[in-house]
Amino acid sequence: MATNSIKLLTGNSHGQLAKLVADRLGIELAKIMVLQYSNNESSISIGESVRDEDGMDALSDACARQGKAD
């Protein structure tokens, strides 16, 4: 039986905080590549398998951006 591990995903917003959380949990940050396009769209590529894994993206600033006017 396979054992699940936790994958900690973070983008560009809170890199230092993500590293502190990963260190505290004793895990590595998942390999992520974030591309930002000139039209403010983003593309995110996860550079490792996350199939059958538990993932956490608690370090996103998406909630803060919801109220942001362009």
- 54: CB partners within 8 A, 6+ apart: 4, 5, 6, 7
* Nearest by Cα to 9 from 39, 46, 37: 46
Burial-class residue 20 by CB neighbours within 10 Å (0-12, 13-18, 19+): exposed
pLDDT digits (tens, 9 = 90+) for 42-67: 888 888 887 777 666 655 565 555 55
pLDDT at position 34 over 80: yes
d(CA 33, CA 55): 16
Let me know how long the chain is: 70
Of 22 and 66, the structure prediction assigns the larger pLDDT to 22
